[in-house]
Every structure is written in structure tokens, then in C-alpha cells.
Structure 1
Amino acid sequence: MIYEMTIQFRVTNITEGQAWYEGLFQRQPDFIPHEGFAEWEIIPGCWLQVAEGTPTPGNGPLRLGVTDIEAERGRMVNESGAEDFEIHSRKEVPAKWGTFSDPWGNRIGFFETLDKDEMNERIEMVLKK
């Protein structure tokens, strides 16, 4: 039985990396077990670990569900210096999505579910846990 997950991204400087991811998540890490390492619980049971080390080119993308992809794209471009990215959609896919990179080349994506009732049900489910 799988009950939790983690993904790890590496950054060349943990101080800069931690600050960048604090901007992405708009909060401090949930856990710093030792020097050179920080973790955020993104949603219950889903953790992102940021570790100092050699980044893996093209790592990811880690896709994060958001309620307004255009607003989040604007926030990341304006506040974190992320490159502007295209938002994609296809009529057979019930979501919009886009991908960008952190300053170390780790790929991150946002997606927005187009069915707002479904999105709100998922948000309620996560908040109950």
C-alpha cells in the first residue's frame, strides 16, 4: 500500500534554493532535518525535498494543481524571476497546464482543472485530511 510520496530536487546553494521555494509555496519549510536540506508538505502526504547538491538536468516536472493558472504564472514570473511560460490546453483534456524551471533547471508545472465543481471537490477532500 502506498500512503505517501516525496520528490527531491537538488539546488547548488541551499540558502538560495530554500528562499526560492519559500516564494513558490509562500511559506517556510515544514521540516529541516539537517543542514543542506528542507522539506515542504505540499498537500497531506505529498512532500517536496530540496537538497543541496548537483542538480539533475531536466528533472521533473513536478505538476501542482492551482485554482488560477494565469494568476500563478504572473506571480511566479513577477516575484521569483521564473521565465514566462505558455499555458496549453486541448479540447480533449479537462485541464490547462504550463511548465517552467527553477533557477537550477528543475522543471515545475502548474495545472488548472477546468471543471470547477471537480476542482472544488478535490480541494475539500484535501482539506479534510
Structure 2
Amino acid sequence: MTVTRVLAQATVADLDRAERWYTALFGRGPDNRPMEGLLEWRLTDSAGVQVWREPERGGHSTVVLAVDDLDAVAAGLSAAGTAHDGPEPGGGARLLRLADPDGNRVVVTGP
């Protein structure tokens, strides 16, 4: 088996609220709305994040993102009004723990 693309997915109850939060996280709106109830951000040619409206499962997802400048991500989130506790050491790198409005865990790692 050869994997050619990976999409992380977060399930949410309120898609409009989630769109605002993930737009602040990624610094731009979704790249695609492939179907009703689904938003998609393309992060690289082979990776992305989908946010799916599924109220009964909302808040039970974890997304891990690796970035090249964790401090810039933290600063951008602060400027956008997204609460966080700042980068912390973890697992041989640093990480920024976030929770979207539904409680999905979003962990951003980087140097």
C-alpha cells in the first residue's frame, strides 16, 4: 500500500462557528466545500484538514499539525483572539495545545 494523501478530520456540531475558528487557525478560509456540511483546508499537496458537521460526534477528534515556526503560529492566534497557553516543551519538540469551540484537540508542534 502506498498512501498518497492524508486528511485529518475534526467533527463539529456548529459548522459556522468552527469555520471562524479554523479560519483564524489557518489564517484563511477553507479551500473547498466538497459537499454539504464539510469544509476543507489544503495545507500541502498531500495533506489537509477537513471539518465535518456531525453533531452527535462533535468534539471527539484530535488533529496534530507540524509547522516550521511555532512562535509565529502562537502570535497569529493571539492576534486573532484565539485563547491558548503558549508553546510548551513536549516530545522532543515544542507544542501548542488548542481546543476548537467543540472541544476537539488541536496540537501544533514545531521547533
- 2:43 maps to 42
The amino acid of 1:63's aligned partner reads V
Distance 2:96 2:25 in 1: 15
Amino acid at match of 2:11: R
The reply to whether residue 105 of structure 1 matches residue 103 of structure 2 is yes
For these two proteins, the number of residue pairs brought into alignment is 108
Question: Where is the helix percentage greater, Structure 1 or Structure 2?
Answer: 1
Counterpart secondary structure, 2:31: coil
* 1:85–1:100 Cα contact (<8 Å) kept: no
| Aligned-residue RMSD, C-alpha | 2.0
Structure 2, unmatched stretches of 5+, are none
**TM-score w.r.t. structure 1 length?**
0.71
The verdict on how the C-alpha distance between 1:52 and 1:89 changes in structure 2, with shifts beyond 3 A counting, is closer
Report if aligned partners of 2:70, 2:87 keep a CA contact under 8 Å in 1.
Answer: no
**Does residue 19 of structure 2 align to residue 18 of structure 1?**
yes
Report how far residue 33 of structure 1 moved.
Answer: 1.6
Which structure 1 residue ranges, 4+ long, deviate > 4 Å from structure 2?
Answer: none
Q: Look up the match of 1:117.
A: none
Partner amino acid, structure 2, of 1:112:
G
When Rg is computed on C-alpha atoms for both structures, the one with the higher figure is 1
The residue identity in structure 2 corresponding to 1:104 is: D
Residues 69 and 111 in structure 1, CA contact (< 8 A), matched pair in contact too: yes
Residue 28 of structure 1: aligned partner: 29
Give structure 1 stretches of 5+ with no counterpart.
114-129
Aligned-pair identity in percent equals 26
Normalising to structure 2: TM-score of the pair? 0.81
